[in-house]
Amino acid sequence: MPVFKDLFRSKSRYATVKPSQGDGDQPRPQPARPKEVPDGLWVKCPGCQNILYQRELARNLQVCARCGHHFHVGAVERLSQLLDSLDTFEEWDTDLRTVNPLGFPGYEEKLARMQAQTGLSEAVVTGEGKLDKYPVAVGVLDFSFFSGSMGSVVGEKLTRLFERALERRIPVVVVSGGGGGARMQEGILSLMQMAKTSQAVERFGASRQPYISVLTNPTMGGVYASFASLGDYILAEPGALIGFAGPRIVERTIRQSLPSGFQTSEFALKNGMVDMIVERKDLRPTLARILRLHRA
């Protein structure tokens, strides 16, 4: 099985992607960012409008030091933040490839573009690594790839993640950031991945090992309404958009403006949908503590 390092084909560009308050709609192509500043050096914080130095932002786990805005984190960087070291990570199922089962117009082209942009083959990276010196099966959805939406390959990789974790009796951590929900381009087959992954989560329960679901911005639609909601523990990063229907759809349906903070992590916590909100710097220690309690 290829080691994770093989994936570093091109440097991920997550931090320069403008974090849209995506609404769970299907993805649309990201417009090229105007180059006001040397590309990849500086980035404007959507939280406080300050210009931040990219390197410093990365050192601060992609969180704005001034206002605490949590930027998107790509799958690779997320793994390096959560695991003891990327060297402990063995990636799984790198050979699965997306096809165009419906012959959906433009799907192959868009996939190729996403792959070139991100250096990823699909929207999720799965595998086994060490967290706090103990093995854990971990899956990370990458928002920069097709808005982290779930088609057949994402569903299959997550299902296998839970299956292998069950065989090995190790805990599962899935970091969701899937604003795209179920991927439109694979139609009904994407919807069926919701059933497949939810069933895999439940079967994994036989291991008596915990499944910790981490919700990041944004976790919507079919991703939220399946495996992401089914964690034994559900953690959310601050200020993430979390919900089923996209806010624009809700707004259009009820024909009134939405209350402020609607469908944020804080909204989800208040309404009893998540266990806790965890700042990014505390995420790894929090995961470690929960896992430690399970070993005790």
Partner 1 sequence: MVNGVFEWERPLIELENRIKELQAFTKEKGIDFSEELATLERKADRLRAEIFSNLTPWQRVQLARHPRRPTTLDYINMICTDFVELSGDRCVRDDEAMVGGLALLDGMPVTIIGPQKGRDTKENIRRNFGLPHPEGYRKALRLMQQAEKFGRPIVSLIDVVGAYPGIEAEQRGQGVAIAENIRRMSFLRVPIVCVITGEGGSGGALAIGVGDRVLMMENAWYSVISPEMCAEILWKDTGRAPDAAAVLKIGAQDLLELGVIDEVIPEPLGGAHRDREQAAQRLKEAVVRHLRELLPLSGDELIHRRLEKYRRMGRLAQETEERLQAVSESPRD
| Closest CB 212 distance from partner 1, rounded Å | 16
For residue 117, the tally of other CB atoms under 10 A from its CB is: 15
Which one, of 179, 278, 287, lies nearest residue 236 by Cα? 278
**Between 99 and 276, whose beta carbon lies closer to partner 1?**
99
Q: Would you say 264 and 240 are in contact if contact means Cβ atoms under 8 Å apart?
A: yes
| Closest CB 127 distance from partner 1, rounded Å | 17
Q: Looking up tokens 């097709």, which residue turns up? A: 146
**Between 75 and 158, whose beta carbon lies closer to partner 1?**
158
Footprint of partner 1 (CB under 8 A):
25-26, 28, 95-99, 101-102, 104-105, 151-153, 155-156, 159, 182-184, 186-196, 198-199, 201-203, 221-222, 224-230, 243-246, 249-250, 253-254, 258-259, 262-263, 267, 271-273
**Between 202 and 279, whose beta carbon lies closer to partner 1?**
202
| Closest CB 136 distance from partner 1, rounded Å | 22
| Closest CB 7 distance from partner 1, rounded Å | 14
Which one, of 32, 166, 152, lies nearest residue 96 by Cα? 152
Q: Would you say 198 and 227 are in contact if contact means Cβ atoms under 8 Å apart?
A: yes
| Closest CB 176 distance from partner 1, rounded Å | 11
**Between 223 and 287, whose beta carbon lies closer to partner 1?**
223
Q: Would you say 264 and 41 are in contact if contact means Cβ atoms under 8 Å apart?
A: no
| Closest CB 189 distance from partner 1, rounded Å | 5
Where is 140: in which H helix or E strand? strand 134-141
**Between 105 and 285, whose beta carbon lies closer to partner 1?**
105
Which one, of 178, 176, 231, lies nearest residue 200 by Cα? 231
**Side chain identity at 109, as an amino acid letter?**
E
**Between 72 and 183, whose beta carbon lies closer to partner 1?**
183
Q: Would you say 286 and 166 are in contact if contact means Cβ atoms under 8 Å apart?
A: no
